[in-house]
Amino acid sequence: MLSIRGLSKVYRGKATPAVSNVDLDLRPGEVLGLVGLNGAGKTTTIRVAAGLVYPTAGHVAVNGLDLTRDKAEASRYIGLVPEFPNFEPGSRAINQLRYYAGFYGVTGAAARELCTELLRKVGLSDMDQVRLRTFSQGMKKRFSLAASLLGDPEFFLLDEILSGLDPEGVLLARNLMVDLRARGHGILLSSHILSEVQQVADRVAIMHEGRLIKTLTRDEVEMTEGATLRLTIENLDDPGMELIRTYGTVRRDGNTVWITHPNLDPGQINTELIRHNYKVVSLGFESLNLEQAFFDAVRGPPPKAP
Nearer to other proteins, 84 or 134 (CB): 84
**10 Å Cβ neighbour count for 69?**
10
Stretch that binds other proteins, among 86-94, 118-126, 198-206, 216-224 (CB under 8 A): 86-94
Candidates 22-30, 52-60, 170-178, 210-218; binding stretch for other proteins (CB under 8 A): 52-60
For residues 216 and 293, give the distance between their C-alpha atoms in angstroms, rounded to a whole number.
9
For position 133 contacting other proteins by CB under 8 A, the verdict is: no
Total residues interacting with other proteins, rule: CB under 8 A? 33
Binding of other proteins by 147 (CB under 8 A) = yes
Residue 137 in contact with other proteins, rule: CB under 8 A: no
By the rule CB under 8 A, 73 interacts with other proteins:
yes
Tell me how far, at minimum, the Cβ of 174 lies from other proteins, in Å: 22
The yes or no reply on residue 288 touching other proteins (CB under 8 A) is no
**Contact call for residue 53 and other proteins (CB under 8 A):** yes
Interaction mask 101-120, other proteins, x per CB under 8 A: -xxx--x-------------
Binding region for other proteins (CB under 8 A) out of 28-36, 71-79, 187-195, 230-238:
71-79
8 A C-beta contact, residue 82 and residue 159: yes
The reply on whether position 186 binds other proteins by CB under 8 A is no
Out of 1, 28, 59, 99, name the contact with other proteins by CB under 8 A. 99
Nearest distance from C-beta of residue 59 to other proteins, angstroms: 16
Could you write out the three-class secondary structure of the chain?
Answer: CEEEEEEEECCCCCCCCCEEEEEEEECCCCEEEEEECCCCCHHHHHHHHCCCCCCCEEEEEECCEECCCCHHHHHHHEEEECCCCCCCCCCEHHHHHHHHHHCCCCCHHHHHHHHHHHHHHCCCHHHCCCEHHHCCHHHHHHHHHHHHCCCCCCEEEEECCCCCCCHHHHHHHHHHHHHHHHCCCEEEEECCCHHHHHHHCCEEEEEECCEEEEEEEHHHHHCCCCCEEEEEECCCCHHHHHHHHCCCEEEEECCEEEEECCCCCHHHHHHHHHHCCCCEEEEEEECCHHHHHHHHHHHCCCCCCC
- Of 98 and 181, nearer to other proteins (C-beta) is 98
Does 285 sit near other proteins (CB under 8 A)?
Answer: no
Asked whether 98 and 112 are in contact (CB, 8 A), the reply is yes
Residue 219 binds other proteins, judged by CB under 8 A: no
Looking at beta carbons only, is 2 or 78 nearer to other proteins? 78
Binders of other proteins among residues 165 to 184 (CB under 8 A) are: none
Residues of this chain that interact with other proteins (CB under 8 A) are: 11-12, 47, 50-54, 71-73, 75-76, 78-80, 82, 84-88, 99-100, 102-104, 107, 144, 147-148, 150-151
